[in-house]
Chains A and B, each alone.
Chain A
């Protein structure tokens, strides 16, 4: 009974993230990879992503807050972050990264400041959502 409740809670949480535009259908593809042979796949993948995303956002924040911004580094971090977030269905984070990349490509300082501040802070919140999914998934598996 407890397991069912946790499972339903997780499904509801994921559905909410879909409705808020945080997740897209790629997450469902990743979820579908979990099976009896690999019962912890989703938890492992989300944990890896959450760790990588946290590190990536931290690096990006450091570079963006520098007196002289190294756009090549910004592009590099954002490229990796976009690839990772897209791969797990983190569409909102991926879109934020795309916006930053466009701004960097055009060396539009006003645009990248605007693109990087609000969405990246939002997506720092989003990546806490990923951690919550990982925690819920782990609790179900235990």
Chain B
């Protein structure tokens, strides 16, 4: 059984050492959900938005933290924000802090190609919710989307 809520680890270990492969099609949304993807690498942003759209979300993408903060400050609303920690000009941590400082309370998932010892704690302290090694996998994303979609009756 996959964990109901992501632990921040990007792999679902089922005790056998085997990796159970989920699909981004393993979810059917009941509500309209929107997501913002903040990634400085065009190719990565394309893939991340593709995964989210395949789950049924409407997505928008920006390639730097400044643009993300401006978008939020302008009143744009999202259910989910995925932020790469390695961004040009303003990094993902600072972007997360500034988005929270604007009063935005949506779910923020931080992703990074490489997770150092204190990276997860720093991201959570900045106001992020889930931290995952890149690429964000279905095992991490689908439980989050189900939660946002109200599919967990105990929330």
Contacts and interface: CB of A to CB of B under 8 A. Distances in A.
A31 B114 CA distance: 24
B47 A32 contact: no
Contacts of A87: 43-44, 47-48, 134-135
B46 interface: yes
Secondary structure of the B contact surface, majority rule: mixed
Contacts of A98: 114
Contacts of B43: 45, 48-49, 52, 84, 87-88
A30 to B, nearest CB: 6
Interface stretch (B21-29, B63-71, B146-154): B21-29
Interface residues on A, range: 20 to 34
Interface in A45-91: 45, 48-49, 52, 79-80, 82-84, 86-88
A42 B47 CA distance: 10
Majority-rule SS of A interface residues: helix
B47 A82 contact: no
**Residue from B19, B23, B42, B43 whose CB has the most chain A CB atoms within 10 Å:** B43
B44 A83 contact: yes
12 contacts: A26-B137, A29-B137, A29-B138, A30-B50, A32-B25, A32-B54, A44-B46, A52-B41, A52-B43, A80-B41, A84-B41, A87-B48
Contacts of A88: 43, 47
B135 A26 contact: yes
B113 interface: yes
A45 B48 CA distance: 11
